[in-house]
Structure 1
Amino acid sequence: MSYRIVPVEKNNSFPADQSSTPTAQQTAASSDDHHGASAAVDSAVFNGLVGKTAPDFTLEKYDGTTVTLSSLRGKNIILFFNEGLMCYPACWNQIAAFGNAKEFDPATTVIFNITTDPKRDWTNAVKKMPELAAATVLFDTNRVISSAYGVLTLPSSMHRGQFPGHSYVIVDKNGVVQFVRDDVQMAVRNKELAEEVKKI
């Protein structure tokens, strides 16, 4: 079995549709200019996940129930770490697309959207975009899990050191991370991720 990793400093996004797509360094610099000073890019933890057992977690869902990652052995897991409410419409669009995805077999693949937002704040978001209700959103409000996965200091984060940006992790049926990618383009990536799942 071969593991797949895309080093985020060198190529941290899915193939671009246009050659004018900004580089990770340009995007990071632009984010700093727009949002003020932030933590330095550090993708060592994120890149180092591949080939290792995914850090376990138990997080609360929007409906009040909890999910424990290690209880889902036997299924492929896609984790989408995102900035959540502040990332409108990009993150919202990806979350909604996952909630209505036709590219994945729910019998074999589970998708979790992980945000650091307080759960109570999502009520208005679901009212604004009802499609979000179909997605499974998990709340990492203390950022412990986001830190464990190293997603707080990646190039896609517009508030590095504080919030995730737009990052994907694929965990196989044995609980091992097979694929990671940080996407500074912040697009909907169902098709590309479905292809990665097929490679496992």
Structure 2
Amino acid sequence: MLHVGQPAPDFTLKTTDGTTFRLSEQRGRAVVLYFYPKDDTPGCTAQACSFRDQYQDFQDLGAEVVGISSDSEASHQKFTQKHRLPFPLLADEGGRVRKLYEVPRALLGILPGRVTFVIDQEGIVQYIFNSLNRATDHVSEAKQVLTTLQRA
């Protein structure tokens, strides 16, 4: 997996509204990039809704939240609408970006892993949190890291 201090690999993927998201275009603001297993599963829904409920906090910290899974754009659109998610979900069909970020599989290699990367304004990975089971902890961990970075 990537390490803290490394540049975050650039990528381009489609968003839920059909626009294109390119990581390098986010320079100048922090990005919380979270990889999750699947739309509308209990853990992934709890995680997305926790990011939703604290989204303004992330905005106030100068960060954008972005979710990535291998689900299709149509699946992401339904998930976004159902849970009123204010941030983009990116369709990584085929798992190219997941591989680029070296996100490991979980549960004996059966499930796609759940990993969150906090990327600073310069595009450098500042924090990595890897936990399949502690879905909502990804939100609190990322917020804490951003708060610390903002103070520095």
TM-score, scaled to structure 1: 0.66
Residues 139-185 of structure 1, C-alpha deviations (whole Å, 9 max, x = no match): 1112111001111x24xx2472x753211101000000011110132
- 2:121 counterpart of 1:173: yes
- 2:47 counterpart of 1:94: yes
SS at match of 1:141: coil
SS at match of 1:80: strand
Specify the alignment match of 1:131 in structure 2: 83
Residues 27-82 of structure 1, C-alpha deviations (whole Å, 9 max, x = no match): xxxxxxxxxxxxxxxxxxx2x33211100011111010111000111101101101
Aligned residues: 147
Are the aligned partners of 2:13 and 2:90 in contact in 1 as well (CA < 8 Å)?
Answer: yes
Are the aligned partners of 1:95 and 1:135 in contact in 2 as well (CA < 8 Å)?
Answer: no
Residues 93-148 of structure 1, C-alpha deviations (whole Å, 9 max, x = no match): 11122123243235710010001111123344356xx2244332011112111001
CA distance in 2, matches of 1:93, 1:132: 13
Are the aligned partners of 2:114 and 2:131 in contact in 1 as well (CA < 8 Å)?
Answer: yes
More strand by share: 2
Structure 1 gap segments, 5+ residues each: 1-45
In the TM superposition, 1:133-148 aligns within 5 A as 133-148=85-100
Specify the alignment match of 2:148 in structure 1: 199
Are the aligned partners of 1:103 and 1:191 in contact in 2 as well (CA < 8 Å)?
Answer: no
Identity percentage of aligned residues: 25
Whichever of the two has the greater Rg, that structure is: 1
CA distance in 1, matches of 2:78, 2:34: 21
Structure 2 gap segments, 5+ residues each: none
Distance 1:113 1:66, change over 3 A: same
